Structure 1
Amino acid sequence: MSIRYTMRQLEYLVAVGEAGGIVAAAQQVNVTAPSISAGISHLENELGVQLFVRHHAQGLTPTLAGRKLLDHAQMVLRQAAALRDLAGELSGQVRGPLAIGCLSTFAQVVLPGLRRSFVADYPEVISQLEADQPELFSLLRQARIDVALTYDLNLPADLKFFPMLELPPLVAVAPDHPFADRAEVSVEELAPLPLVLLDLPLSADYFLSFFAQKSLRANIAERTRDMAVARSLVANGFGYSIFNIRPLNDLAPDGQPLRFIPLAGHPRPMKMGMLMNTSLDRSSLHKAFLDAAKAWISTNSGRITGGRIQGSKAGKQP
């Protein structure tokens, strides 16, 4: 008797195995929870084994058979993707879905425009996910995303980084701050003043390293994981902050103005680029997206950096 199942049902199986529950898996693959549940039940009936143990209000746990079949399902899906890529190369077409991860601090500035330019040439299914740096590493290793746009922060050896744009750190202050009209400001001058720290994994260590290198300690007055909140706190006088991405209009989200000043001493800039898993072969789609990202970021570098650096001679933007 033949066993009948679809590739989509295998995707449901893998999603449930990774997410640990029906609802989370449904969000991951963008279908309804009943569709996931029906797909898993169909697979169990067709294969004649129980794939998951159902826990009331605690998700699902793979059985021993389920774990073995999960490994094979992932292999089948990878082979199917390779077959699709090979067909695309033979036909001269770039095809297939692409899952993009992006560092949450600059996703709003980069990802929508980049996606729009890419789908204009390759109208395939693209999904996106915003996360912090450690989460992006994990998502790449789990093959839940194909590529990640991020910074060169604490990059592990098993992931390959393609740098695209350097972003030096900038000090953000309110217009009435004593340093607002300065051409640059040093770490020594900043150390005693209240800092609004963008407290994201790895990013916070990067900002605080400027002080540690001078044997200084930053005076952290506020912490937030949201860049928009940090900008509004700064604009309302709660302290200064340090960013690598500058808004084009120099306004906080609540409409209050900001000033951006270069940090003196040539501190290490962040490098924005593309991160990929070195254990997986890059498909023609991955290569096309990498090339498209390089071109788009190069063309829009002024928008990403917020244009020219504002110092004492730059004045207010019109």
Structure 2
Amino acid sequence: MPLRFTLRQLEYLVTVGDCGSISEAAARLNVSSPSISSAIAQLETEFGLPLFVRRHAQGLSPTQSGHRMIAGARQVLEGAAGLNILAGDIAGLVRGPLNVGCLVTFAQIVLPRLRRGFCDAHPAVAFHQFERDQTELFDALHRAELDVAMSYDMEIPSDLDFVPLASLPPYVLLPEAHPLAEHEAVSVTDLAAHPMILLDLPMSADYFLSFFEAQGLSPEIAERTRDFAVMRSLVANGFGYSIANIRYRSDLAPDGRRLRHVPLVGAPRPMRLGLLTARGARSSMTVRAFIDHCTAEVAGGEVPGLAPLPPERC
């Protein structure tokens, strides 16, 4: 009996299930809402099952049958993607979909540069980029929603593999007028009495706060933000200092004010920037090609898009 549904319709089904809204699914997939509504209606007719409960104020909720069909559709889509990858491996080609996640703090700087070179070298790859925090990257890798993720070596689960790319020591961001701005280096003891703008992301915040805990100190946290650009602007406008491992090539905050970057001495180990994969993911030629590309690009000790480290701290 011929199939009366398509992989695209199954993709719509899974995305609506994830979003809980046809409009949000349409925006994520860059298609029209009527196209998705029509696909869902056709699937319900084909399967003879109600897949969603429509609630005007709360969007769509999968029925009990819908949950099971969404899980089955996800498996079919993963299998189809696997066939595409398998065909490329058999033919010795780097092609097919590649879903790459990236930690939000450097997704706008590092990954686009690496992506551009990789896509130029492998035009048959359908590259998709996703920005997440560390916990979300782990979850997406476990659910096979991502093939590879760029992040730090922070509390990595034992069932994920990490390929290191670069070591990034912490530094202090300061406004130009800050009393510590002209110092060659500062310690957490120097910082403890000044207000801090904490980059409050999962695991990253604990890493920064551990610098003070190791010295028996508590920072004066004046503000918390999950947005790296917001943190830079708050610092540049004199609301406090912050600590980070990512240093952009520009010393200007988003609003044009200048920042000072001072090495932090006496801190714990640097963060290691690298690539995360689920076990077995590197059997894919496309994943291996992306890892090899990133490794080659960073081989000279300079991360694309980031300021080079001072020689004595490399």
User: Aligned partners of 1:54 and 1:280: how far apart in 2?
Assistant: 38
User: Aligned partners of 1:17 and 1:159: how far apart in 2?
Assistant: 27
What is the CA deviation profile of residues 138-168 of structure 1, one whole-angstrom value per residue up to 9, with x for unaligned ones?
3333333322111122222333222211110
SS of 1:54's partner is strand
TM-score (norm 1): 0.90
User: Aligned partners of 1:107 and 1:144: how far apart in 2?
Assistant: 17
Q: Are 2:219 and 1:211 equivalent residues in the alignment? A: no
SS of 2:144's partner is coil
What is the CA deviation profile of residues 34-92 of structure 1, one whole-angstrom value per residue up to 9, with x for unaligned ones?
22211111111122222222222212222232222222222222221221112111222
Q: Report if the CA contact (8 A) 1:259-1:310 is conserved.
A: no
Moved more, 165-174 or 136-145: 136-145
Name the residue aligned to 2:18: 18
Name the residue aligned to 2:242: 241
Name the residue aligned to 2:111: 111
User: Aligned partners of 1:114 and 1:201: how far apart in 2?
Assistant: 25
Residue type of the alignment partner of 1:90: I
Name the residue aligned to 1:193: 194
Name the residue aligned to 1:78: 78
User: Aligned partners of 1:310 and 1:180: how far apart in 2?
Assistant: 21
Name the residue aligned to 2:268: 267
- Pairing of 1:1-318 with structure 2 (within 5 A): 2-123=2-123, 124-278=125-279, 282-299=283-300, 301=302, 303-309=304-310
User: Aligned partners of 1:280 and 1:49: how far apart in 2?
Assistant: 35
TM-score (norm 2): 0.91
User: Aligned partners of 2:145 and 2:199: how far apart in 1?
Assistant: 27
Q: Report if the CA contact (8 A) 2:148-2:277 is conserved.
A: yes
Q: Report if the CA contact (8 A) 1:167-1:305 is conserved.
A: no
What is the CA deviation profile of residues 224-243 of structure 1, one whole-angstrom value per residue up to 9, with x for unaligned ones?
22222222222222221111
In structure 2, relative to structure 1, the CA distance for the partners of 1:280 and 1:14 (3 Å cut) is farther
Offset at residue 23 of structure 1 (A): 2.1
Unaligned runs of 5+ in 2: none
C-alpha RMSD of the superposition: 2.2
Residue type of the alignment partner of 1:185: V
Q: Report if the CA contact (8 A) 2:109-2:306 is conserved.
A: no
Q: Report if the CA contact (8 A) 1:102-1:128 is conserved.
A: yes
User: Aligned partners of 1:147 and 1:27: how far apart in 2?
Assistant: 24
SS of 2:294's partner is helix
Offset at residue 310 of structure 1 (A): 10
